[in-house]
Amino acid sequence: MDGPALRAPRQPRTAILRDPRSKCRLVVKEHLVELVMQALLDVSRKQHVELPQTPEFAIDRTRQREHGDFATNAALVLCKQLGMKPRDLAQAIVDHLPPSRHVEKLAIAGPGFINFTLTPSCLLDTLDQVLERGAGYGHAPVDENEHITLEYVSANPTGPLHVGHGRGAAFGASLSNILEASGLKVQREYYVNDYGRQMDILATSVWLRYLELTGNPVRFPDNGYKGDYVVEVAHALQQAHGDRFRQDPLAVCADLPADESQGGDKEAHVDGLINRARQLLGPGGFDLIYKLALERLLDAIREELLAFNVRYDNWFSERSLNESGAVNRAIERLTRLGHMYEEKGAMWFRATTFGDEKDRVVIRENGQTTYFASDIAYLLNKFERGFTRAVYVLGADHHGYIARLKAAASGLGLNPANVEIVLVQFAKLYKDGKEVSMGKREGNFVTLKDLRTEVGTDAARFFYVMRSHEQHLDFDLELAKSQSKDNPVYYVQYAHARIASVFHKLAEQGQTHDRAAGEAARAQLDNAHELDLMNLLQRFPETIEKAGELRAPHLVANYLRELAAALHGYYDGAQVKILVDDDDLRNARLNLLLAVKQVLANGLKLIGVSAPEKMERQEA
């Protein structure tokens, strides 16, 4: 397996960490890495030992305040290679560390950690940086070398989106924003399954409902789409075309294989109905209904995603792959490379060559290509369009697809490491402590629209990405709906609104905020709460980068809760007032608040949640 392919390279991408507009010139962590590297080179020269090109030590944020801001395990990891005791090596590294105006204190602790405490000015620089860059703070310069296509949701247009799709939508949209912020070029894509049997069943279902509306009811198949939306499309069909598609019910039903509930086979029955529809309506008539259904449902999906603050750069048609010959070309390529064979009248892709557990049918015995054939063509198409990496956000039930898709990449001569599948676990809805069931064909599933209108886009988006995507999500409807302190969305938004209200108050008092005066007096920001807040602000870019590398938007949500908590703690618990009489101090504190507000807004935007200036409580 090529598991590490999902992981970003171990060494940080310096191009992304490097921030040209930073007053620190380098993001702190990168700076510290360079200092330690320098010291290590000196020490190893003295010991006459060759160091590896990229020694595997880590520099990380510390967990506890007493350990400073950053710590490195370099001495622990490299002591054997350098033939020294860990604490001796730590001391040697400290002795050889080049001086830095950003490091205030160094300490050796525990078994041999080296702790770094940053100078206050380094934190204060962060503050200026946030105000300087505004909405751009936290965003890394664009890396021109990578161009990602990120596909998410891609639900069949055979019905409205349900709450399961909602998580994929929230996750994919947030992740693409985060990746973009961390400097990668990202194209958001929706793969439209506008081809194949499921859509045929939908078109047939619409036609049967239409027949009912025109007073010619035909028994509805077990395997048909039963939702009310099908009737709505049928209505639209009737309005646009009157009774043009009316047929004698007896002719429709004549000689069909028995349906499941009639003791037969539901698949055979529905296939019979599709063929009957084609035959009675003529190809033009059937296609017209098919297209009408597709357009209506796809429009509804587009509209819903837009309302959910989820956008796309490209809607890619599966049909176009078939009609342009891309599917055939992909199959030919696999054939030419010797990865196809014939068996039992079908054409198979030898996926087992590349680690899949079984070979896969690409062209069926009846000559039709499979869904997988389209997937292969689509994969090839993505790389032909120049993307360097294809990311698929899929539901956890698709995990069997990983090996298949990667095998296809290998078979096509592509690097499977550039094909990445991120699985999102299921979400369960809970209402009053009970699970809300979501049967699909039965038509009683909860749509994303239901959820959105009930709890609102902000709460839904936040709740969906609040947990790790690897974790099953228990979505508590009551909590998401509640306008109370228990609701984490309001907690974060409130912090933003609270700051806004301080500025309103300032205006009410007839005063204005003088940023330059605040910057000049910034050294007065020295209480523990203020330092904590600045420390958090400094960690925002690191959080984005990490959330991007780990494909983990929940880290951003967690970060925002932390920042909001620090703000509330400062506001309520620090025994300080912002709007003090002292002009310098007041402006310095206002600078800090403004920076916190900016970062809250930037972070919320990444996960598609609004940052309100005012919280209006609504009566339930």
Partner RNA sequence: GGGUCCGUAGCUCAGUUGGAUAGAGCACCUGGCUUCGAACCAGGUGGUCGGGGGUUCGAGUCCCUCCGGGCCCGCCA
Contacts (CB under 7 A) with RNA, residues 7-26:
7-8, 10
Stretch that binds RNA, among 239-247, 333-341, 445-453, 565-573 (CB under 7 A): 565-573
Residues that bind RNA (rule: CB under 7 A) add up to a total of 99
Residue of 258, 396, 417, 523 interacting with RNA (CB under 7 A): 396
Cα 331 to Cα 328: distance, rounded to the nearest angstrom: 5
Kindly list the distances between the CA atom of residue 228 and the CA atoms of 155, 450, 525, 594, in Å, as whole numbers in the listed order: 18, 14, 61, 49
Instruction: Confirm if 234 and 226 have CB atoms less than 8 A apart.
Output: no
Residues 341-360 within binding reach of RNA (CB under 7 A): 343-346, 357, 360
Nearer to RNA among residue 246 and residue 568 (C-beta): 568
Q: Record the tokens describing residue 40, joined without a space.
A: 């290590």
Instruction: Fill in the DSSP letter of residue 147.
Output: E
Stretch that binds RNA, among 124-132, 228-236, 301-309, 419-427 (CB under 7 A): 419-427
517 binds RNA (CB under 7 A): no
Could you tell me the smallest distance in angstroms from the CB atom of residue 399 to RNA? 4
Q: In this structure, which amino acid lies at residue 403? A: A
Stretch that binds RNA, among 62-70, 145-153, 224-232, 452-460 (CB under 7 A): 62-70
Hey, is 35 helix, strand or coil?
helix
Query: What's the sign of the alpha-carbon dihedral 243, 245, 249, 250?
Result: positive
441 binds RNA (CB under 7 A): no
Find, among 56, 156, 65, 144, the residue nearest to 107 by Cα: 65
239 binds RNA (CB under 7 A): no
111 binds RNA (CB under 7 A): yes
Distance of CA 559 to the CA centre of its chain: 16
Count CA atoms within 13 Å of residue 431 on its CB side: 7
Nearer to RNA among residue 132 and residue 454 (C-beta): 454
48 binds RNA (CB under 7 A): no
Could you tell me the smallest distance in angstroms from the CB atom of residue 49 to RNA? 17
Cα 77 to Cα 20: distance, rounded to the nearest angstrom: 32
Cα 143 to Cα 108: distance, rounded to the nearest angstrom: 37
113 binds RNA (CB under 7 A): yes
Could you tell me the smallest distance in angstroms from the CB atom of residue 7 to RNA? 5
Scanning the structure block, which residue is given the tokens 């603050």?
309
Residue of 415, 565, 605, 610 interacting with RNA (CB under 7 A): 565
Residue of 5, 55, 67, 454 interacting with RNA (CB under 7 A): 67
481 binds RNA (CB under 7 A): no
Residue of 47, 91, 198, 335 interacting with RNA (CB under 7 A): 198
Q: Record the tokens describing residue 338, joined without a space.
A: 């010797």
Residues 363-392 within binding reach of RNA (CB under 7 A): 364-366, 368, 370-372
Q: Record the tokens describing residue 391, joined without a space.
A: 């990311």
Residues 240-269 within binding reach of RNA (CB under 7 A): 267
- b/e 272-286 (16+ beta carbons within 10 angstroms → b): bbbebbbeebeeebb
434 binds RNA (CB under 7 A): no
Residues 445-464 within binding reach of RNA (CB under 7 A): none
109 binds RNA (CB under 7 A): yes
Please name the residue ranges forming H helices in 456-523: 457-466, 477-481, 488-508, 515-520
Q: In this structure, how many other beta carbons lie within 10 angstroms of the beta carbon of residue 132? A: 14
Q: Record the tokens describing residue 602, joined without a space.
A: 């930037």
In the chain the first and final C-alpha atoms are separated, in Å, by: 53
Instruction: Fill in the DSSP letter of residue 26.
Output: B
Q: In this structure, how many other beta carbons lie within 10 angstroms of the beta carbon of residue 131? A: 17
Could you tell me the smallest distance in angstroms from the CB atom of residue 210 to RNA? 22
Find, among 560, 548, 171, 209, the residue nearest to 395 by Cα: 171
Residues 131-170 within binding reach of RNA (CB under 7 A): 156
Could you tell me the smallest distance in angstroms from the CB atom of residue 198 to RNA? 4
573 binds RNA (CB under 7 A): yes
Residue of 48, 63, 101, 434 interacting with RNA (CB under 7 A): 63
Cα 160 to Cα 620: distance, rounded to the nearest angstrom: 28
Stretch that binds RNA, among 333-341, 414-422, 512-520, 546-554 (CB under 7 A): 546-554
Could you tell me the smallest distance in angstroms from the CB atom of residue 199 to RNA? 7
473 binds RNA (CB under 7 A): yes
Could you tell me the smallest distance in angstroms from the CB atom of residue 271 to RNA? 10
497 binds RNA (CB under 7 A): yes
Nearer to RNA among residue 11 and residue 239 (C-beta): 11
